[in-house]
Each structure stands twice: as structure tokens, then as C-alpha cells.
A = this chain, B = another copy of it.
Amino acid sequence: MDHTWNDKLHEECGVFGICRRGSEGVVAETYHALYALQHRGQESTGMAVNRDGVIRCYKDVGVVSDVFTPDRMAKIADGQIAVGHCRYGTTGTQNAENAQPLVVNHLKGAMALCHNGNLTNAQELREKYEMAGAIFHATSDSEVIAYTITQQRIRCGSIEEAVRATMGIIEGAYSLVIMSATKLIAARDPHGFRPLCMGRIGEDIVFASESCALDAVGAIFVRDILPGEVVVASRRGVEVYPPIRAEKMGLCVFEFIYFARPDSVVDGVSVHEARLRAGRLLAKSHPVDADVVIGAPDSGLDAALGYSQGSGIPYGIGLIKNRYIGRTFIQPEQSQRRDSVRIKLNAVSATVKDKRVIMVDDSIVRGTTSARVVQILREAGAREVHVIFSAPPFRHPCWFGTDIDSEENLIANHHTEEEICRIIGADSIGFLRMEDLPKLCGDRKLPLCIGCFSGEYPVDPPANRSKHKFEIPLNLSETEEKP
């Protein structure tokens, strides 16, 4: 249903950058863009502002409106270039130190780096750098990227060449926005795992994870950054480097199913339309005889409308979500998870009472949320509840920047569809078929990464899978000192 619940996947991050050539002012734009990208990460946020070549960084744990209060905004000196970042929130460990932008000082000056994605060879590179005496402050991949760029910068004539050289060294998923004293650089990994696009406000250039952030700052969409491409914006204009090619490409399909905002267009495909298509495909593959189709707010609404369009069954508003999110108090009892759903969702009895209801949701992780929603609908008088998911069942880990739950918690890993139906108490359930996934993009033949459903990835997972993530909270080492 929604990214405010634990029973959900988490995106890693959202990135943004702006380089003014014509007008002045980048702070308000970065704020508005981050606010528009907030759905991609709520744990921490930050921005780095370049004023006449001097980079200042402001970042903290919290959502944009908490971190950048009017008081703090008033104290930020405006500038000509800025980058911004929001980071996802897992429960529990919130590390201010992992907040981005990551600003580092190296031989040739300062650099601010924003990263969305996950490397597959971060651990190897880190060990190599440590052998040469490097020290690491945090646990994120981003520090590895920063070191690689720094190392390459010593050999290369410019920061953008260092970034391109870095792309031959680091592997995995990365959409980067990097700021130096005079330049703003966007780079996307050759597989194109995570989205990244470019916009224009008059003469000024912006980069963002999603096009909804361009809208938020009044920018015109120019184009998506191509997989493997490096684009440099500076006072002198825009320079584009020919893309570095990868054997296989694959945009994360979950951007269409859940992560991206429906008003965004990713690699030429409208997210809203992709979800409408998912609903229409499901109306064909999983027809149900029912009275009304409702969506689980907010992420199931588009696919529900599509199902209604495809099936001819009327669309209804059947679930109301309490908008006053925030850290809500939950009774410390057995019924905990039930209440976390109940406090946020209520059924519209007028819509579902005595009706055969089709509820469309985006996906199922643990199943606890779905079970609770089915129960709420039945309590409101629904005669039948059929649950349709606009994604196939999750079965495999993601190595490329999605915080998928551990396999033992994925209900689809241990249960057949019939069992899941029984567990969540539905009258029937349906999943999007694997073969329908490519059709979400309509006419466009976008290469997609569907590894979390199929187990096959565009790039090899890390050899030593258990080592692949040094997801030790910052400033914490489990390694004994080695002699």
C-alpha cells in the first residue's frame, strides 16, 4: 500500500542537481525537488550548495520539512550550483553519518556526491583501498565511489574524466549527481538500473531521479540520461560523453510498479500508464466476477482504475487513508501490526457493503498488511474480497539498491498462491504474470531488471554474497583487530 509501513519494499534514494548559468538561486529549487522526491527516501536528507566555488553542506536525519525548517533555510547562503539527496528509511538504525551529499576534500579540491543504487564490487574495492592506507568513516558504497573518483582524479585531467574512469571500475547500480567547484555532473551506470533525467529552466540545467522533481521546480523535461552516460553542466554549457556500453541493461521494473510517483515519466514511460496497463493486463489474466474494483491507497489506485477499465467493473473508492502520518503511537501488544494498519486505513462502507469487492494492491511482502485489509473490508460488510497484485510474487533478493526483506520473511517464498489466499483470508487472489511484465512499458521495448521475481539479473551478484554488504552501522566494526 504505502511506503510508511514496514511491510513494504524500500527504495534507496533520490538525487537532484542544479547548475545555474543564467539566473541566480539554487537553494529553494533543491528544497522543492527533494520534497518532490521524498517518496524515494525518508530517513535522511541533505543538500550541498556551491557559492562561488565554495561548497557548504547541510544534512541530517529526517524528512525534508523537518531538516530544512524555515529557520535553517534562512541561514543557507544561496549559490550557483547545488546537489540534493534523500535517503531511504529502514526501521531502527538511522545514521546521520550515512546521510548524503557526501562532501570530501581531495587533492584537486572539494567534491559533493549523491548516489542512488548499490555497487556489487564495493567490498573488493574497499579492501583494496584499505590495503593502501585508506580510512573509511561510514558504511555506504558512496565512500567507495568517492575514493575511486579521487584516485582517478590524480591521473585524469578533469573531474568528468575521473568519473568516466570510475565507471570502468565500479560495478552495479548507480545514478550519480556530483558537484565540483565549477561543475555539475550526472552519471548513470551502464545497465541503467536506476532512473536519472535532465531538465532545463531557461539556460539552467537540472538533473533528477524522477521527472516529478523537474515539474516541482518548473523545469522542462529534456531527456533521460542514457545508461552509461556522463553529462557535465557548467557555466560554459553542457557537455555529453558517449555512453559506456554494458552487455545487458535493465531498469528496475519496480520503479513502475511501486517506487516512482505516478506523475513521473521514466525512460519514456509514464508510471501512471504503466500501472493502468498492469491493471488492464490483470483484468484479462485474472478475471473476477465482482461488483466493484477498489485500490489500496495510494499505490494500488492506478492499477485498480486500469482493472476497472479492462474489466468493465465499476471503480469505487473503498478505502480511506489517514493522511496524518508521522510516528504514530502503537500499543505495545500482540495486536501491534493489526493496529498499525487500522490506524491508517478505514473502509468506506457505502462502497463495499454487501458487494463483491476486488481490491488491487501493488505487491505482497509478508502478507500481514494484506490480511488486515481483507479483514477491514469484511468488517465493513464486503460479501467477497478478491485481492489482485500488480506484481508477480517476490522470491529473490535485490543487489541493486532495493531494500527487499530477507527471504524467510517473503510469504511467496514459502507458500503457494492458494496458501497465501487462505492466509490473508481472501476469496481469491491474483498476481501479475511474469510474461506481462515487459508489457507494462507499452510500445517501448525497455530492457527491465526483473531479478527479484526471476532470480536472473543483468549483472552478476557479488561472489561472496554474505560479504557484499558491509551494512554495519557507521562507526562500528565487527572485525577483531588483525595482527
Contact = CB atoms under 8 A, between A and B. Distances in A.
A146 to B, nearest CB: 6
A478 to B, nearest CB: 5
Nearest to A329: B73
Which residue, of A105, A132, A183, A316, has the highest number of chain B Cβ atoms within 10 A? A105
A440 to B, nearest CB: 13
A262 interface: yes
Given A55-B475, A331-B28, A348-B263, A63 B305 contact: no
Contacts of A130: 105-107
Interface string A160-182: 00000000000000000000111
A155 to B, nearest CB: 10
A326 B66 contact: yes
A131 B105 CA distance: 12
A263 B346 contact: yes
A346 B215 contact: yes
A53 B329 contact: no
A481 to B, nearest CB: 4
A136 B159 CA distance: 17
A302 interface: yes
Interface in A324-381: 324-329, 331, 339, 342-343, 346-351
A261 B297 CA distance: 15
A268 B481 CA distance: 35
Interface string A103-139: 1111111101000000000000001001111111100
A477 B54 contact: yes
A426 interface: no
A417 interface: no
Interface stretch (A32-40, A187-195, A402-410, A453-461): A32-40
Given A38-B324, A73-B329, A263-B320, A346 B481 contact: no
A103 B189 CA distance: 31
A46 to B, nearest CB: 10
Contacts of A383: none
Contacts of A416: none
A445 interface: no
Which residue, of A96, A182, A320, A331, has the highest number of chain B Cβ atoms within 10 A? A320
B137 A104 contact: yes
Given A48-B475, A154-B133, A181-B481, A315 B324 contact: no
Contacts of A42: 324
Interface in A39-83: 39, 42, 48, 53-57, 63-66, 68-71, 73
A323 B263 CA distance: 13
Interface string A394-425: 00000000000000000000000000000000
A327 B67 CA distance: 11
Given A324-B35, A324-B63, A481-B182, A329 B261 contact: no
Nearest to A215: B346
A329 B263 contact: no
5 contacts: A54-B477, A56-B476, A108-B481, A110-B475, A302-B317
Report the 4 A-B pairs with minimum CB-CB distance, sorted nearest first.
A110-B477, A270-B350, A57-B475, A65-B326
Interface of A: 28, 31-32, 35-36, 38-39, 42, 48, 53-57, 63-66, 68-71, 73, 96, 103-110, 112, 127, 130-137, 146-147, 150-151, 154, 157-159, 180-183, 212, 215-216, 218, 261-263, 265, 270, 272-273, 298, 301-302, 305, 309, 314-317, 320, 322-329, 331, 339, 342-343, 346-351, 473-483
